[in-house]
Amino acid sequence: MKKIYLDYNASTPISPEVFAAMEPYFMNQFGNPSSSHWASSEAKEAIYKARSQVARLIGCDSDEVIFTSGGSESNNQALKGLYEALRSKGNHVITSKIEHPAIISPCEYLESIGAKVSYVDVDQYGKVNPAQIEKEITESTILITVMHANNEVGTIQPIKDIGNIAKKHGIVFHTDAAQSMGKIPVNVNELGVDLLSIAGHKLYAPKGIGALYIRKGTPITSFIHGAGHEDGRRAGTENTPYIVGLGKACELAEKKLATQNKLAALRNYFWEQLKVIYGDSIVLNTELDDCLPNTLSVSFVGVEGEKILEKVPELAASTGSACHSGNVELSSVLKAMGVSEHVGKGAIRFSIGRYTTKEELEDALSLLKSRIVLS
C-alpha cells in the first residue's frame, strides 16, 4: 500500500538537517547546561544559539524567548501566568470560539477560579471581527488571546488589527502561532503581540519542544516552579537536543518562507482537480486567499469524512467531525462557522508540507476518484 501523508497540520516529520543538529547532544555533548564545568559549556552555547535562531525568526530579542515542552505548555503559561500576575487588576479574558483546545481548556480552568471569559463569534470563513473584540473590552479586561491561524480550516486572523486594539486599551495580547510558524511571516512587532506560542512538531522539529515569546515588561508568573532555569521563568533542566532541534528548524523556516508560494500552488491544484472530479458535491470551508498556503479544508456533501478516509486508508488526513454512538458531531470550529451538519459531516482537512510532491497529489486524486463516488 502506497502511503500518502496529507496531514502536516497535525504533525511534521523531523527534517534531516534538524536531526543532524540534534544528534551530538544525545551522546557526546550530554552535559547539564546549568553546570559550571567543561561538560556543560557546549550545551550552554548550543542553547544560546537556538534561542537566537528562534528569536530571529519572530523578530524579537533572545532574552524574550523561553523554551517549553510544546505549544500546549506555552499556551498554558501564557494564559494562567498572565492571569495570576494581573488578577488584582481584572479578571476578564477575551478569546474566540475557534481556538485550539490548548486555549479553550485553560480558559475554562480560569473560569473555574473566578475569571470571566468572552468567546467571540467568527464569520462563515472562520474569521474574527476585530470590532467585535473591541466591543467586548471592559475595565476588567486583562488579556486578549486569538490564534494566528486556525489549525482546522487554515483561516488567518487579523492579528495586527487586534494588536492595535489591545495596545490602544493597554491590554496584554497573546497569539497561538503553532500553525502559522514557518508557513507565513510571523513577526511579533508587526503583529503587535506581547505573548506568542510556538510548537516544534508543527515546524519539522521534534514533538515535546516549544517556545513562548514574552515581550519585555509583560508580567507573567512561572508555570513550572523549581530551580532558576530559563532566567527563572520556567524550571526544569533544559532539554538540550530538542532545543537545538527547534532552533535549527526555525533557521530553516526563515530560509524557506520564500518557497511557500509553491505550497499554495500545489494546494490550489489539488482543489481544482477535486472540483473537476466532484463538481458541486464538494465545497470549500474557507476562502483560499486568506488561508494558510498549505491547508485545504473541504466538505464532501452528504457523506461522512470518516467513511471517506476508511475507504482510502492510504491517505493520512483529518476530518472535521466525529461519530459518537452513530451520531455525527461537528467540530467546534465548523459549528462556530455556521456550517450545516449535512455539509460539515463530510469535512476533511488536507494539509501538505515541505516534502509533498505533485505526484503524490495525483495519486491521492486517483484513489479518491476510484473509490469515492458522490451522487
Rounded to the nearest 5°, which phi and psi values hold at 321? -150, 165
Give the active site residue among 60, 107, 250, 323: 323
Give yes or no: 250 in active site: no
Rounded to the nearest 5°, which phi and psi values hold at 366? -65, -40
- Check: CB of residue 125 under 8 Å from CB of residue 101: no
Handedness of CA 245, 251, 255, 258 (dihedral sign): positive
Cell match 472535521: residue?
A: 320
Measured between alpha carbons, how far is 16 from 122 in angstroms, rounded to an integer?
A: 39
Stated as kind and residue range, the H or E segment containing 370 is helix 358-371
- At 204 the three-state DSSP class reads coil
Cell match 466532484: residue?
A: 278
Count of other CB atoms within 10 angstroms of residue 189: 11
Sequence-separated (6 or more) residues with CB below 8 Å from residue 86? 142, 143, 172, 219
Residue type, 100: H
| Extended strands (E) in 150-281 | 172-176, 195-199, 210-214
| Structural Rg of the chain based on CA atoms | 21
Q: Catalytic positions, please?
A: 323
